[in-house]
Copies of this chain bind each other. A is one copy, B any other.
Amino acid sequence: MTTKNPPTKSATRTRNLQRSRQEILDAAFIEVFKNGFQGVSVDEIIKKTDLTKGAFYHQFPTKMDLGYALVEEVITPMILDRWILPLENFKNPLEGILVQLQKNIGEVEIDQLKLGCPLNNLVQEMAPVDKGFKKKLETALELWIDKIEWHLKRGKKAGYLSDDVSPRDAANFIVMAHEGFYGMVKGLSDPSLVKSLFKSIKIYFKSISN
């Protein structure tokens, strides 16, 4: 009974609320990433989809709600995936952070980098404009900082960080450096910039290391 597999046919070509939601979120993420939230229209988003406006407003009451969902369902998992989870593999968290910086910034094509950081983009654009946005964005940012702080704490216990450094202060500064990093790359074309900023971050890391 209840054979979950569809008989034949091209498998998953039916109606599916979750799939449609994901399809809209994926398309929206790209467009918002490229043009900003206020710079993209609902029509443009659904045009990148094989769905229509009816499906959009069946999922999201307003355009703002799409924005909130972007932060919670796309951007937050992306941050954890790129910046937090990989740190598990490093005994020294500072080393792990540097490696991830190298992977996520140093080794990414410049065209992608020019679009900035999805989270930071929205913070800069939407935090002062809409309170709902600000709250979701703040939650994501705090999560990021909290996780970094947690890893720094264990790194400190393991003796990698100086005794007189506050993990919270360092976590704040590190996330700040991430955002600043993206911001600078976005604004400048200087090809030596990434290396230059890297050098300075390493200097800071050394100054808080044992």
Q: Which residues on A are within 8 Å of B, measured CB to CB?
A: 34-36, 38-39, 114-116, 120-121, 123-125, 127-129, 134, 137-138, 141-142, 166, 168-170, 172-173, 175-181, 183-184, 186-189, 193, 196-197, 199-201, 203-204, 206-208
Given known contacts A176-B181, A187-B123, A189-B138, A36 and B115 CB-to-CB distance under 8 angstroms: no
Given contacts A38-B39, A203-B208, contact A124 B169 (CB under 8 A): no
A105 to B122 Cα, complex, angstroms: 22
- Majority SS at the chain A contact face: helix
How many angstroms from the CA of A35 to the CA of B126 in the assembled complex? Answer: 8
Q: Are A193 and B172 in contact (CB under 8 A)?
A: yes
A199 partner residues in chain B, CB cutoff 8 A: 166, 169
Q: Closest B-chain residue to A170, C-beta based?
A: B200
Distance (whole angstroms) from the CB of A77 to the closest CB of chain B: 18
17 contacts between A and B (CB under 8 A): A35-B128, A36-B129, A39-B125, A120-B187, A134-B187, A138-B189, A142-B188, A166-B196, A170-B200, A172-B196, A173-B196, A176-B177, A176-B180, A176-B181, A180-B180, A203-B207, A204-B204
Taken together as a complex, chains A and B put the C-alpha atoms of A35 and B123 apart, in Å, by 12
**Which residue in B120, B169, B183 is a CB contact (below 8 Å) of A176?**
B183
* A124 contact set on B, CB distance < 8 A: 116, 120-121, 124-125, 183, 186
Contacts known (A124-B124, A125-B36); A172 close to B187, Cβ less than 8 A: no
